[in-house]
Amino acid sequence: MNREHLQRIEEIFDRVQKAAPERCATLLDELCGGDAAVREEVEALLDVHEAAVDYFESFRATVGKSAGAELDAAAAHSRRIGRWRLLELVGRGGMAAVYRVERSEGDFEQTAALKLLRRGLDSGPAAARFAAERRILAQLRHPDIAAVIDGGITSDGLPYLVMEYVDGVPITDYCDRQLLSVRQRLEVFRSVIEAVQ
């Protein structure tokens, strides 16, 4: 398979996956121009893309529900953690939830992000990974990685980490809103990987 062939498949995939669902079949007919092999490859990519989107949406909903109830209960009894007042939940994952928080002490005001370990994961391997994450992040200085500001243990024993708050959207939403091609999405992902490295 040569470069031109792959580029054609990528361009058709990009256009079709961004199109309204009712327009996809017609657009495939137009863009593939009767080339059954190209159409088959594009349809296979579209199927994989749809399956991946469905999987991650389902995963996000499942993890959000299981982690959310425990984290919300932990935060509900006290809207403060250490010196930080919880303002809103901004994200959840399998291990933790992230809240937008603020500290207001005299002339000192600051907005940050507080990552709170999920109840039930506050001992064992998950707690060890969270502690290692705190140690590593506290030593990092990189323009594309939020800096650590604070950390500690809540009154009921849950570890937390406070970092710079970055007001933005999830990377997938950013890519969708900007209508980025597969190649452009990979460039964005590469910058993330370089920061992690």
CATH topology classification for 78-164: Phosphorylase Kinase; domain 1 (3.30.200)
Question: Would you list the domain boundaries of the chain?
Answer: 1-66, 78-164
Residue 152 burial (10 A CB sphere; 0-12, 13-18, 19+): middle
92 touches 115 (CB < 8 A): no
**Entry pTM:** 0.56
Q: Which of 130, 142, 136 is nearest to 195 (CA)?
A: 142
Q: What is the pLDDT along the chain (197 residues), one digit of tens a residue?
A: 678 888 888 888 888 888 888 888 888 888 888 888 888 888 888 888 787 777 666 655 555 554 455 445 444 445 888 888 899 898 887 778 889 999 877 677 889 999 888 777 767 777 788 788 878 888 878 777 788 888 888 887 888 889 999 888 888 899 999 998 989 988 988 888 887 77
